[in-house]
Amino acid sequence: MNIDLSELTDGFSSKLKVISYFMAIIILKKKKKELFIFEKKSKEAPYLFTDLCLIKKFKVYKLKKKPKSVAVFNPYNYLANLKVLKKHYNIKDNERFNYVSELSYQNYSPKQKIKNKIKKINLPKKFIGIHFRSTDREINIRNFIKKIQFKEMIFDFHINHMIKNIVNFVFLKKLSKNVFICSDNSFYKKTAINFLKSKLLINSVNSKFNKNKFRQTNGIDFITELFCLSQSQVIISSVGGAVTNSAYLISKKKIKIYKWIDVKNFFYFLKIIILCIYWLKKFKNFLTIKII
């Protein structure tokens, strides 16, 4: 089955989601377990699935030329093209399709080079994943009105608050002192490790960051952190998002997820402000489209 990911420019986790749709079709319709994948690098997804991952029980082939595909997904047509895909393959049981699609995440596996890297980290049997999401989810006082584009976003000072108060949260919830720290931002990762190393037992990937790029981490480090997160019992994330959700679905165990923006404290009102601005922007765009 051909999968064209060349127009999917909104992050690596989106590739996992779209591929899972095609895996679900193959499983439900009992088709040959072969995937022919065509993809391109983009600003938000600067690495390729076929370079970094395998799919258990499936043969994956990397295509050099754009193939014919039933549905070509992009950041703006998920729902419409998912309907096209289901109609083409006569999928009528949406609940069953969603279940198989999500379950198929457990077939994702890193390539051997990354498996070896994960093994060298020597993660404990029980640990907490701490995930600081920055990049397009971080805002500050100067730009927050302009930059808010998701329902779940976080101020820079709120991330710093998370770093300074996460130990109290861990003790309050009676969680393991073994932690795995990861982030898409070198500053927050280093700050967290330095602040927490005397209080918790730290595990992490020795990531290489390129601060001149939108995605600071490289593909190998990103996938390493993703699959390490999937082995945790609990994930504490600044905002959650697609990476945390992917780790949850890849895991064969039920991971408890806490989002720092949902923790009831003085900063909770910031979430209300962000949601209000988000929905006002949505309403404004709706009115603009109606007028045009």
Distance between CA atoms of 173 and 256, rounded to whole angstroms? 12
| Counted domains in the chain | 2
17 with 42, same domain: the answer is yes
Of 53, 85, 110, which residue sits at a domain end?
110
- In this structure, the answer to whether residues 103 and 8 fall within a common structural domain is yes
- % of the chain beyond a pLDDT of 70: 98
User: Is 284 part of any domain?
Assistant: no
Task: Compute the CA torsion angle 79, 85, 87, 89 (nearest 10 deg).
Answer: -150
Q: How many CB atoms lie within 10 A of CB 212?
A: 6
**Residue 48 is part of which domain span?**
2-110
212 lies in some domain: yes
Mean pLDDT of the chain: 91
Residues contacting 206, CB < 8 A, separation 6+: none
> Looking at the structure, do residues 165 and 62 belong to the same domain, yes or no?
no
Same domain, residue pair 208 and 76: no
Please write the tens of the pLDDT for every residue from 67-104. Answer: 999 999 998 899 999 999 999 999 999 999 999 999 99
Specify if 286 maps to a domain. no
Based on the fold, state whether residues 181 and 159 are members of the same structural domain: yes
pLDDT tens, 228-287? 999 999 999 999 888 999 999 999 888 999 999 998 777 888 888 888 988 888 877 766
Task: Write the CB contacts of 173 (distance below 8 Å, at least 6 apart in sequence).
Answer: 234, 258
Q: Which residue has the tokens 């720092």?
A: 260
In 3D space, the residue among 167, 165, 162, 208 whose CA is nearest the CA of residue 188 turns out to be 162
Please return the burial class of 32, using the count of CB atoms within 10 Å of its CB with bins 0-12, 13-18 and 19+: exposed
Domain termination site, one of 84, 110, 136:
110
Judge if 83 and 217 occupy the same domain: no
Q: Is residue 289 part of a domain?
A: no
Q: What pLDDT sits at residue 250? A: 97
- Determine the 3-state secondary structure of 94 from DSSP: helix
